[in-house]
């Protein structure tokens, strides 16, 4: 076992875990004050729920030996049976090191979805939804893309750190929730619903940016040149995306806002994620600027359609993931240092592989999420009453206000 590689992957696991509390601040700042604690609880409950589910059966379904033609892992690792903390011969890290790194990805993905139904979901339904979604939606997609026998891995679709597995998966699940299942918030489109705490939004984005170095550079699974490249392009794309988002916001007649800068950074981080191990710094700038511009206009378009995706999950993570996956095909192998990555297929072929992977992920995430939520809607219900929404979820769902009135 390589102690340096192990130390880096464990440190990266901690960085990725920090992203979920960072997301809690990012989302909580954008909702109204009466829903801030409830929004934070969504992210923290994902840490609790998925942290246990992943150990019990999630890891096995995602990374167990293939049992379904590249579609799903087996059950041999239930309760982490056979998942050793000691590296196998010829391996630089142990399977348990890899498992806990992957656990942090599984934790943040359903937390991302919660922005789509912020301010209006019953907490009891959220708990059941999270367990079902990680089991039925997330684990299979992780197997498709990242297991060596997964059908998209075998096809040749590239996703270095989660553009499809995390961001498109969450983004299209969010679209299903906001468009198909949940009604609009009371007063949506007529009442002003500005972010209640802009400093929270910026703090959350900063924590996400910090943790994202573990998300992307840690996905090299070693302290090597690939990790260095991923680290550099991650920072570069995020910076470029801020410029793209603010430029679009400014030119459209608005003013360059702090929330826009924070959202642009996250869009750039999303878009570079699938490409981080496969492209160099110059393509990272193009990917970042594109993410800022495309995601900004996607958010405006979703709002124009009056789809109440409360915190713009689809516009940032869904569209950012689509652009990042496509850009991976366009730029794979461009500008990377020797030994980092060299593409062995044509651009057109790789773009084709990327489109297949993205299309399959989008369809699976959208359809199965809708089925899960419809089942909950017509059994225990998913949306709070109008009276509960008016009072706020902090009080009605958790019995505690975010801020003292004293």
Nearest 5°: the CA angle 316, 318, 320 is: 55
Q: Give the C-alpha separation, 350 to 155, whole Å.
A: 10
Q: How far, CA to CA in Å, does 282 sit from each of 240, 250, 338, 381? A: 11, 24, 15, 49
- In the chain, which residues have pLDDT < 70? 406
SS3 315: helix
SS3 183: coil
The whole-number pLDDT of residue 307 equals 96
* CB atoms inside a 10 Å sphere around CB 56: 13
* β-sheet bridge partners, residue 248: none
SS3 143: helix
Q: Give the C-alpha separation, 64 to 267, whole Å.
A: 32
SS3 383: strand
Q: Give the C-alpha separation, 211 to 82, whole Å.
A: 29
Q: Is 343 in contact with 333 (CB distance < 8 Å)?
A: yes
Nearest 5°: the CA angle 302, 360, 83 is: 115
Q: Is 156 left (phi over 0), alpha (psi -120 to 50) or beta?
A: left
SS3 267: helix
Q: Which of 145, 105, 111 has the alpha carbon at shortest distance from 129?
A: 111
Burial category of 334 from C-beta neighbours within 10 Å (exposed 0-12, middle 13-18, buried 19 and up) = middle
**With DSSP H G I counted as helix, E B as strand and the rest as coil, what are the percentages for the chain, rounded to 5?**
70, 0, 30
* CB atoms inside a 10 Å sphere around CB 331: 22
pTM given for the model: 0.97
Phi then psi for 268, rounded to 5 degrees? Answer: -65, -40
* CB atoms inside a 10 Å sphere around CB 21: 18
CATH number for the segment(s) 3-398: 1.10.3430.10
Q: What is the pLDDT of residues 277-316, one digit of tens each?
A: 999 999 999 999 999 999 999 999 999 999 999 999 999 9
* β-sheet bridge partners, residue 121: 383
The whole-number pLDDT of residue 405 equals 73
* CB atoms inside a 10 Å sphere around CB 89: 4
Q: Where are the domains of the chain?
A: 3-398
Q: Give the C-alpha separation, 118 to 185, whole Å.
A: 9
The whole-number pLDDT of residue 404 equals 84
CA-based max dimension of the chain = 65
Q: Which of 395, 377, 379, 376 has the alpha carbon at shortest distance from 387?
A: 395
Give 340's Cβ-side CA count (13 Å radius).
26
What is the distance in angstroms between the CA of the first residue and the CA of the last residue of the chain? 56
Q: Which of 109, 87, 82, 83 has the alpha carbon at shortest distance from 5?
A: 87
DSSP letters for 216-242? HHGGGSSSSHHHHHHHHHHHHHHHHHH
Q: What is the pLDDT of residues 75-98, one digit of tens each?
A: 999 999 999 999 999 999 999 999
* β-sheet bridge partners, residue 383: 121
Nearest 5°: the CA angle 313, 315, 318 is: 75
Inter-helix orientation angle 95-113/3-30, to 10°? 10
Which spans in 169-224 are helix H? 169-176, 198-217
The whole-number pLDDT of residue 406 equals 54
């Amino acid at each position: 076992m390589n102690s340096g590689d192990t130390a880096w992957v464990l440190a990266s696991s901690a960085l990725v875990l920090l992203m979920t509390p960072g997301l809690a601040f990012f989302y909580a700042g954008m909702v109204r004050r009466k829903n801030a604690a409830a929004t934070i609880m969504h992210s923290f409950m994902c840490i609790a729920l998925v942290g246990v589910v992943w150990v019990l059966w999630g890891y096995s379904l995602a990374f167990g030996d293939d049992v379904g033609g590249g579609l799903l892992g087996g059950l041999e690792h239930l309760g982490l049976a056979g998942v050793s903390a000691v590296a196998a011969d010829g391996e630089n890290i142990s399977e348990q090191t890899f498992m806990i790194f992957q656990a942090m990805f599984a934790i943040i993905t359903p937390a991302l979805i919660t922005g789509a139904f912020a301010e209006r979901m019953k907490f009891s339904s959220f708990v059941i939804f999270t367990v079902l979604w990680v089991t039925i939606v997330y684990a299979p997609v992780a197997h498709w893309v990242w297991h060596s026998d997964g059908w998209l891995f075998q096809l040749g679709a590239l996703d270095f750190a989660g553009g499809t597995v995390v961001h498109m998966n969450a983004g299209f699940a969010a679209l299903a929730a906001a468009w198909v299942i949940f009604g609009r918030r009371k007063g949506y489109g007529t009442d002003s619903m500005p972010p209640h705490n802009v400093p929270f939004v910026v703090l959350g984005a900063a924590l996400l940016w910090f943790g994202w170095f573990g998300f992307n550079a840690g996905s090299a699974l070693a302290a090597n040149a690939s990790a260095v490249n991923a680290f550099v392009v991650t920072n570069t794309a995020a910076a470029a995306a801020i410029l793209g988002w603010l430029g679009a916001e400014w030119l459209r007649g608005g003013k360059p806002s702090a929330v826009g800068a924070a959202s642009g950074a996250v869009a750039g981080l999303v878009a570079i994620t699938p490409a981080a191990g496969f492209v160099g710094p110059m393509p990272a700038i193009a990917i970042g600027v594109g993410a800022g511009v495309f995601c900004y206009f996607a958010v405006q378009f979703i709002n124009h359609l009056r789809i109440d995706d409360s915190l713009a999950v689809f516009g940032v993570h869904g569209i950012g993931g689509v652009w990042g996956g496509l850009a991976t095909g366009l730029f794979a192998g461009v500008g990377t240092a020797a030994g980092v990555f060299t593409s062995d297929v044509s651009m057109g072929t790789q773009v084709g592989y990327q489109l297949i992977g993205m299309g399959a992920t989008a369809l699976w995430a959208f359809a199965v999420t809708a089925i899960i939520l419809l089942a909950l809607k017509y059994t225990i219900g998913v949306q709070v009453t109008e009276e509960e929404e008016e009072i706020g979820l902090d009080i009605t769902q958790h019995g505690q206000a975010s801020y003292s009135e004293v």
